[in-house]
A and B are shown apart, each in its own frame.
Chain A
């Protein structure tokens, strides 16, 4: 444990920045329920996201029971299976990962890392969380309406999403679409805060190129989300109208259940374009915060400055920009013009360049670093491994000729779970282990953490690696049961059973993590202000956990970037961003 002495001169207020007038509530409800403090809102977001994420985890366990041991569990019928697939996917992508990265880590870290007292629009920020909670409740309500939740797959493709015969084609799909629309409204309120706070509320000396990469990742992901979520909003509104008013935006002329429907001429492919125009940037909405956070975790726990900081920033920007022109690689089998396929395959390969740059830079940061295998570092290294694996199979699927035979097989399931599920969730865990001491003032139990890491890390490989093989065999995804299929050997069923056992073990070990979170809150070792010896501003607050307003009487002044680790000649192996240079600043600038 190392603490940083709080030099009073480091907290000189920036002359040009007016002190924000913060609302300091005195009641419990004002402080912790209707709170306008970004840190409390962050915890609210994170707890809600974890709670709904656990629901999705249980759903995946039930799905795995069916796949691993078909004809064993009578309570899982084909409709229920499809509903679980749909809800699992949507909850994990939107309501857990997006919410926890942007609403959770974004709210907690942006003001602290930028040296601000709070978000710039705290009231709007508070509303953002409550609209998110409403969206979650509406989504959960869909389990209990007549017909149950929608079972149309997480991509909600029309026409089947709203046609009779699909589970939840009545109320279920409507509640899903309403919930998504609410989520987008709530996110927009939060996203405005994240972007404007980074642009406008950085403390004195915190130039853009001194921002920690965590902030860069969350900032760019928010920009992507603000521009991409409207596509999902547009498609949700138009599908609600197709369902309830009988318009034909997406619905073609169709015979359903032997009856000619009133729809005519609508384009399901139009929906796919809109959905994936959101859907692919969504991958990076989740990935960019993970990239940023993992960069900081690696740097702190390897006691080394991040390799190629400027390159890392520009890679984030480049990935963000390119992520808008790759969406149709999800639609190679939709019947679109093959020339488009060629274009999107090319852009998909191009986006691999800045992504690979980041991977090289993480590895080069680790190279000859003073690596401390703390729990956050284990998760960070686990992320780099997993992201490389998931990324490489992405090169397969990004190419039209390889994608077509693999489309809708378990290869795709294996790929996107490695790159979009396991990779970011490893970062979420790493980040929680890293920042929990700041949030609560106590350390998480190290042994439980390492147990949690190894079982989760190895377990996910036991789940998703074999799925690639199943995909090569041609085992289709989304099927409730394979039945008597000649081209699928019996060994595939044995693999499925093994995958299920691994999945149940990984699911169960998350209880250890939750137990650690709870028990450490009361009995964890006191953390002190800066247990990892980190340079960024959140570790330099006068109080741990930081109070409302973050920095006590005066805001910090920043003199250096966030990566001064193991600087030759320095007294410690890290220099906080707000530590003044040895020759003191001029009298009229440093203090007021």
Chain B
């Protein structure tokens, strides 16, 4: 559980640091005098949707950290047999990196309001994500054909489990990506499109980072 605890310690330290800044010098029992400006209490100067995404990513990080903790605790048992990871995982990783790069490019263009130029990188980002997912399914197929079933060894089971959970997160993201693509042509939804592309970009970078951690773990153990 050390990995999860390190994550939580970092998170809690951030929360405490933020709270200290908000609270230490405050005397809450003193009311406004009526001559001071009334404080604008929107504490985080970030869009509400982005704060929501940030909180969700905290939950997702906790989830993946716990899976990784379980993986590392389980691999200590004697029955653990290291898995030969399929080579296609390298191609898949490259596809996800490219998808993330295209999202960043689309986001940069969206922020400059160049929506007509943004559509192509946005579509390519989705396309490469689909390629990643098909590649992952291909990796499953290869393992299955080689007799590495989920029930035959915990290393195999964790491979299927971790890639499935990560893939499901990407599928959720692709649903938002799909609605963004569909509404991106509408002038009325301009602001909404820019916001969604921004959120998708953060989400994809996060899932790329998660995949790089998982891939490293799978390769090295």
| Contacts from A to B (Cβ < 8 Å) | 14-17, 120-121, 188, 191-192, 195-196, 199-210, 223, 226-228, 230-231, 233-234, 237-238, 241, 245-249, 262, 264-267, 270, 273-274, 277, 305, 309-310, 313-314, 317, 321, 324-325, 557-561, 563-564, 575, 580-586, 589-590
Contact = CB atoms under 8 A, between A and B. Distances in A.
A226 B41 contact: no
Q: Which 3 A-B pairs have the closest CB atoms?
A: A265-B79, A560-B31, A246-B151
Given A241-B150, A273-B73, A321 B12 contact: yes
Interface stretch (B58-66, B83-91, B104-112): B58-66
A149 B19 CA distance: 45
Contacts of A196: 48, 51-52, 55
Nearest to B60: A230
Contacts of A590: 38
Contact of B8 (A264, A309, A324): A324
Interface stretch (B22-30, B127-135, B183-191, B200-208): B22-30
B16 A321 contact: yes
B150 A245 contact: yes
B38 A557 contact: yes
A205 to B, nearest CB: 5
B216 to A, nearest CB: 20
B40 A270 contact: no
B40 A14 contact: yes
B62 A560 contact: no
Contacts of A580: 32, 34
A277 B55 CA distance: 20
A226 B59 contact: yes
A233 B59 CA distance: 11
A207 B26 CA distance: 10
Given A209-B22, A238-B161, A585-B38, 16 more contacts: A120-B52, A192-B56, A200-B48, A227-B62, A230-B59, A245-B157, A248-B79, A249-B157, A267-B77, A314-B23, A559-B32, A559-B38, A575-B31, A583-B34, A586-B37, A589-B38
Nearest to B37: A589
A309 B30 CA distance: 12
A552 to B, nearest CB: 19
Main secondary structure of the interface of B (DSSP, over half): helix
B213 interface: no
Of B22, B77, B78, B165, most A-chain CB atoms within 10 Å: B77
B48 A207 contact: no
Of A201, A273, A305, most B-chain CB atoms within 10 Å: A273
A249 B153 CA distance: 9
11 contacts: A120-B48, A188-B56, A200-B48, A202-B43, A204-B40, A209-B22, A210-B28, A266-B74, A310-B23, A559-B31, A585-B34
Given A249-B157, A309-B28, A589-B37, A226 B55 contact: yes
B145 interface: no
Nearest to A318: B16
Of A120, A274, A575, A590, most B-chain CB atoms within 10 Å: A274
Nearest to A564: B31
B70 interface: yes
A206 B43 CA distance: 10
A310 B28 contact: yes
B42 interface: yes
B217 interface: no
Given A227-B8, A310-B23, A321-B12, A266 B154 contact: yes
B29 A277 contact: no
B220 interface: no
Given A195-B55, A247-B150, A580-B34, A227 B70 contact: no
A144 to B, nearest CB: 30
B177 to A, nearest CB: 18
A564 B29 CA distance: 8
Given A204-B41, A583-B35, A227 B58 contact: yes
Contacts of B41: 14, 202-208, 558
Nearest to B33: A581
A208 B38 contact: no
Contacts of B29: 305, 309, 561, 563
Contacts of B161: 237-238, 241
Given A230-B63, A249-B154, A585-B32, A264 B42 contact: no
A277 B4 contact: yes
Contacts of A200: 42-44, 48, 51
Nearest to B76: A267
B209 interface: no
Contacts of B19: 208, 317
A219 to B, nearest CB: 11
Contacts of A237: 161, 165
Nearest to A269: B73
A208 B23 contact: yes
B5 interface: yes
A187 to B, nearest CB: 10
B48 A231 contact: no
A249 B38 CA distance: 56
A228 B55 CA distance: 14
B28 A561 contact: yes
B148 to A, nearest CB: 12
Contact of B34 (A15, A233, A581): A581
Contact of B151 (A262, A561, A563): A262
A305 B29 CA distance: 9
A234 B32 contact: no
